[in-house]
Structure 1
Amino acid sequence: MFDGLFNIDYFVLMAALLLIAGVVTAKFSTRLGVPALVLFMLVGMLAGSDGIGFIYFDNANYAQLIGIVALVIILFEGGLQTKWTTVKPVTIPALSLATFGVLITSSVVAAAAKYILDVTWLEAFLFGAIVGSTDAAAVFAGLKGVNLRERLGATLEAESGTNDPMAVFLTISFIQLIMTDQPNYFLLVGSFFWQMGLGLIIGLGLGKFATWAINRINLDSSGLYPVFAMAFALLTYSVTALIGASGLLAVYVAALVLGNAELTYRHSIFRFNEGFAWMMQILMFVILGLLVFPAQLFQLDIVVKGFILSFTLILIARPIAVFLSTIGMKFAIKEKLFLSWAGLRGAVPIVLATFPMISGLENSQLFFNVVFFVVLTSALAQGSTISFLAEKLSLTGMKKETPIHSLELVSIGKANAEVIEVEINEDNPLIGQSLAEITFPKDVLVNAIIRNGNLITPYGESRICSGDILYILVSKQSKNELKQMLNESKISNPTFQKAAE
């Protein structure tokens, strides 16, 4: 009995220490000039059996399970934060990079792996497929705080959010080809369209259904809305994956639908998922760090082969894929160079490297060690220089300003009302009018005005100025009427947040 309690308490203690270490390393990663994901992996390696020996972990099945759940949550958060108006103009180049780009990258790396790792052609293409995609967690984290031109940033984020399914498809397909005596290559084509097409359809459908359900349900606690949204993310992945389609693609598409809809408790859902995604990112990279044994990783043979393959991937395969996949898409040479360098590898290749291990393939341990080394090299070399390269190539845009105001609603019991946050553009016809002059619908009250970061208490003679942010309390019965009025007044992007329950 006491042994069981001790083991549980020890596990909880280790989880707490690892999370604290992860948060602290994330805090100092920017100052050190090292991507946070590298430090997370180093924490795992340090805590493992080849480090100080706190934890012995070598279960690829558990690592894969944790990795996939974490990827679902990270992709969901990334999709929620992605604005469709920003992504829409770059849909074609992003999808081209996510499909043809991954295929070209995998092929070039496979040609190198065939001779460097001394494996069969099918095994070489399996290795190329594993490292063929950029990583959403690494790219999302790497681009935060970088004032990159909107088109470039949107292309990278959309590519990283949609190319994981292609890498997963190729990895599983090559494993099946290796393990099958008489492989059928034609079935792979049909399987590709089934997985991607159905993943897209299910993602759209469940995204719209989740939006409807979240807005219609009346929960007793506002804290349940983010949990409800996260449940739909897990549901979307599992339902899609169980019928043989791309669950990761479905999750990203569903999140894109949710993030661009008028959503009840929108800010609460976003903030919850941002924090949860960080926690899962820490957990995932620490676990992957635990799974690798530094004594095996840093052998001369692995280091030499890893460096050569990293060089091939970063400086040959990725640039070829970018330049070929974006032909005729109006990207300047320096933009293509940046897209080539910003193709970060992260958790996805390491998680995919567990697939051959679980399948019992002959060279699976070799693949895992080399893939881990390639990811480590990519994160260190590319992840730490993204901001520097963007500035040197003059690809930075206007400085992104973070609003200094916030709105937190406190539970005060049942309230049949919602709060709307409205930003007034410089060309808005309401500018210059006083609140008394504006004909609002019934049961509407302007609660607060944020002007230049300062709180203005509204009254009848208060006049609307350009750049004002209004917080308007409205009853559910009058919400649609107010919404119509705001649209007619050309007020930009009113966001709806449900009032306190």
Structure 2
Amino acid sequence: MGEHAIMSLACILLAAMACQWIAWRVKLPAIIFLLPVGIVAGPVMQWLQPDQLFGDLLFPFVSLAVAVILFEGSLTLKFQDIPGLAQVIRNLITFGVLITWMVVAIATRVLLGFSWEVSFLFGALMVVTGPTVIMPMLRTVRPKENVANILQWEGILIDPIGAILAVLVFEFIVAGGADDGFLAGSIVFGKILLIGVLFGIAGGFCFGFLLKKYWIPQYLHNIAALAFVCIIFAVSNLLEAESGLLSVTVMGIWLANMKSLKLEDILDFKETLSILLVSILFILLAARLNLSAFIDLGWPAVGIFIIIQLLARPLSVHLCALGSKLTVAERHLLSWIAPRGIIAAAISALFAIKLESIGYAQASQMVPLTFFVIIGTVLLQSVTARPIAKALKVAEPDPKGFLIIGVNIVTQTIAKELMNNGFRTLLTDQDWSSVTKAKLKGLYAYWGNPVSEHAERHLNLTGIGHLLAMSSHIELNALAAQYFRLEFGPKFIYSIRNHQPQNGKAEEKSSFKYGGRILFDETISYEDLEKRLIDGAEMKTTLLTEEFSYDDYLERQGEARLMLFAIDPNENIYVFTPTPDFLPKANWKIMGMS
């Protein structure tokens, strides 16, 4: 029996990794692959039976896993980000949440006959989208930048907000069921709310204080964060049942908004852990599904899905976009994209177990209904969003922008000239001072490791199709080139030399297998470009004409010339390499340094 359990756990981890890898390769949400694996392994083939495998530990494991996922999501919710967001984003995470909640709750009550309590809980679950499903979809759809930004920030912010709403609704249901009478239930609900908020603030304050005082060594930060989340969750639930989820969410929000507290390492660890837990939970929860439950839901479930897709989301978006600069086409695309993800699945399964135990028989139907909506929204929107974006003319054309590794005098100069010619650029660096200076110059820059899990979820690559590895660190350039080679393709990955080329074994030892194509000229290094700029060289864009040909340009520039980019009349951009596969002609533009 022990060997069977070990084998089952090992297979779950292997399947989870495989699904995540396939999703990464095809640029689709991992849910699309995790759910079928769980359904096949569980109700279809009967290979995986989570209730027997975990026994009484299933409910605690799901609870702790959801707590960690909610904590990780709440760490991204910073109050300072909200005032700076566009009006439509603020409306979506406030009024939009209420609109979706009410519409879905009423539809569930009318079409499926659920009790008002369960209907409002299901409605709260359906307001959550989340970055785990939004970001892969954006890379496939490639909408225009303003639409992509709205969807990205909505997904990040609405994750913890929707989770808090669902937790509060559930806790009010539990409070009301604890004793007859609305007053007694409201008192219990107040206790849950009070304990959840107080313990969340206390946990966040204490852990943040320990970090600020450097009383926890760096290598224990991640373990300490996980331990704090678990203990706050456990103690809150011990004092008042079901207050733990609210506590860890508040704790994450408190930490995210503490001043002078660096959480990047903890956030990266939590994101890695969350990916693991998300994958395991989807497989386990899908394996517990009863296929006949889908059939029993019948056409009313299809009606719920249609209302969510064609009424709740469009109504929310169009009302929230009133007075904004969004075009009608952009509003239509925003109305179409809102896939549901792991938070809805995990919390529905978690709450259903508890609600059934206190007499809500309909709660068991909430799980297959939630999975039905998740599968429906992810599949439908993944397949149709790109054609719809093209038809509405709000899809980006072929990605022509540049992801530039490294923020320095060279990359900032190049990025500025590219932007002046209408090409999107995104600089990345781990040096906060350099990133801040770039932003003050009006450049878009990401602070962090470009190959981290955090970058995977938050780096907006919409409209970007080239990689320029131009950091002063040769190892980072090589790592970035290898990491993004499937994202952009080897043809569009370029690396700058960090030193003058030399013959012999020294040169061979410093070259990398997937380092990308050599940028600009074979004899040019990063140090050469930096020295040119320091000595007063400038980036200029020159238009070629019938009277002023490419040969004339080369002759005028002389030996000091350095061509970097070429732009054809169709606004396609080409990068100069030691062996360029293009020949600039009349009406082309040459971006060079002289």
Q: What's the TM-score, normalizing by structure 2?
A: 0.58
Displacement, 1:311?
Answer: 0.7
For residues 155 and 95 of structure 2, the distance between their equivalents in structure 1, rounded to whole angstroms, comes to 15
What's the counterpart of residue 220 of structure 2?
224
Change (3 A) 1:109 1:455: same
Post-superposition CA distance 1:265-287 (Å, at most 9, x none): x6543432232121011111111
SS state at 1:54 partner: coil
What's the counterpart of residue 591 of structure 2?
none
**Contact between 1:319 and 1:340, CA under 8 Å: does it hold in 2?**
yes
AA partner of residue 4 (structure 2): Y
**Contact between 2:112 and 2:301, CA under 8 Å: does it hold in 1?**
no
**Contact between 1:129 and 1:167, CA under 8 Å: does it hold in 2?**
yes
For residues 533 and 67 of structure 2, the distance between their equivalents in structure 1, rounded to whole angstroms, comes to 42
Query: What is the root-mean-square deviation of aligned Cα atoms in Å?
Result: 4.5
Matched, 1:423 2:467: no
SS state at 1:35 partner: coil
What's the counterpart of residue 210 of structure 2?
213
Displacement, 1:124?
Answer: 3.7
Post-superposition CA distance 1:6-63 (Å, at most 9, x none): x333222212211111111122225556521132122222221x22222223489855
AA partner of residue 168 (structure 2): F
SS state at 1:343 partner: coil
Q: Pick from 267, 273, 276: which aligns with 2:273?
A: 276
Matched, 1:52 2:45: yes
Displacement, 1:192?
Answer: 8.0
AA partner of residue 170 (structure 1): V
For residues 319 and 202 of structure 1, the distance between their equivalents in structure 2, rounded to whole angstroms, comes to 38
SS state at 1:423 partner: helix
Change (3 A) 1:324 1:387: same
Change (3 A) 1:186 1:229: closer
For residues 255 and 399 of structure 1, the distance between their equivalents in structure 2, rounded to whole angstroms, comes to 35
AA partner of residue 423 (structure 1): S
Matching of residues 8-19 of structure 1 within 5 Å: 8-19=2-13
Displacement, 1:198?
Answer: 8.0
What's the counterpart of residue 313 of structure 2?
318
Matched, 1:171 2:166: no
Post-superposition CA distance 1:285-304 (Å, at most 9, x none): 1111122122x1442x4242
**Contact between 2:71 and 2:251, CA under 8 Å: does it hold in 1?**
yes
AA partner of residue 378 (structure 2): A
What's the counterpart of residue 157 of structure 1?
156
Displacement, 1:373?
Answer: 1.4
What's the counterpart of residue 485 of structure 2?
none
Post-superposition CA distance 1:88-111 (Å, at most 9, x none): 423875565445433322322233
For residues 239 and 106 of structure 1, the distance between their equivalents in structure 2, rounded to whole angstroms, comes to 30
Specify which structure has the bigger relative contact order, considering alpha-carbon pairs within 8 angstroms and separated by 6 or more residues: 1
Change (3 A) 1:374 1:206: same
For residues 123 and 306 of structure 1, the distance between their equivalents in structure 2, rounded to whole angstroms, comes to 15
**Contact between 1:114 and 1:124, CA under 8 Å: does it hold in 2?**
yes
For residues 230 and 266 of structure 2, the distance between their equivalents in structure 1, rounded to whole angstroms, comes to 15
What's the counterpart of residue 359 of structure 2?
360
Matching of residues 60-139 of structure 1 within 5 Å: 64-80=59-75, 86-90=81-85, 96-135=91-130, 137-139=132-134
What's the counterpart of residue 441 of structure 1?
none
For residues 364 and 92 of structure 1, the distance between their equivalents in structure 2, rounded to whole angstroms, comes to 36
**Contact between 1:33 and 1:384, CA under 8 Å: does it hold in 2?**
no
AA partner of residue 320 (structure 1): L
Change (3 A) 1:168 1:30: same
For residues 91 and 192 of structure 2, the distance between their equivalents in structure 1, rounded to whole angstroms, comes to 18
**Contact between 1:75 and 1:136, CA under 8 Å: does it hold in 2?**
no
Post-superposition CA distance 1:354-409 (Å, at most 9, x none): 2433433122223322222122212222355556656655366995737489xxxx
SS state at 1:401 partner: strand
Matched, 1:286 2:283: yes
For residues 298 and 226 of structure 2, the distance between their equivalents in structure 1, rounded to whole angstroms, comes to 40
Matching of residues 366-381 of structure 1 within 5 Å: 366-381=365-380
For residues 11 and 279 of structure 2, the distance between their equivalents in structure 1, rounded to whole angstroms, comes to 12
Q: Relative to structure 2, which stretch is displaced further, 325-334 or 278-287?
A: 325-334
Matched, 1:26 2:20: yes
| Gaps in structure 1 of 5+ consecutive residues | 1-6, 406-418, 430-447, 467-501
What's the counterpart of residue 39 of structure 1?
33
**Contact between 1:208 and 1:254, CA under 8 Å: does it hold in 2?**
yes
Change (3 A) 1:193 1:358: closer
Change (3 A) 1:171 1:428: closer
SS state at 2:182 partner: coil
Q: Relative to structure 2, which stretch is displaced further, 104-113 or 66-75?
A: 66-75
**Contact between 1:219 and 1:225, CA under 8 Å: does it hold in 2?**
yes
For residues 204 and 438 of structure 2, the distance between their equivalents in structure 1, rounded to whole angstroms, comes to 33
Change (3 A) 1:133 1:421: closer
Displacement, 1:165?
Answer: 0.8
AA partner of residue 27 (structure 1): W
AA partner of residue 310 (structure 1): F
Change (3 A) 1:103 1:24: same
Change (3 A) 1:387 1:88: farther
What's the counterpart of residue 511 of structure 2?
none
Q: Relative to structure 2, which stretch is displaced further, 276-285 or 114-123?
A: 114-123
Matched, 1:401 2:394: no
Displacement, 1:154?
Answer: 1.7
**Contact between 2:76 and 2:156, CA under 8 Å: does it hold in 1?**
no
For residues 138 and 169 of structure 1, the distance between their equivalents in structure 2, rounded to whole angstroms, comes to 24
What's the counterpart of residue 337 of structure 1?
332
- Pair member with larger Rg: 2
Identity percentage over the alignment? 20
Instruction: Number of aligned residue pairs: give it.
Output: 418
**Contact between 2:176 and 2:182, CA under 8 Å: does it hold in 1?**
yes
Matched, 1:382 2:393: no
SS state at 2:309 partner: helix
For residues 185 and 230 of structure 1, the distance between their equivalents in structure 2, rounded to whole angstroms, comes to 35
**Contact between 1:132 and 1:167, CA under 8 Å: does it hold in 2?**
no
Q: What's the TM-score, normalizing by structure 1?
A: 0.67
Displacement, 1:239?
Answer: 5.9
Change (3 A) 1:358 1:381: farther
For residues 129 and 114 of structure 2, the distance between their equivalents in structure 1, rounded to whole angstroms, comes to 24
Displacement, 1:125?
Answer: 3.6
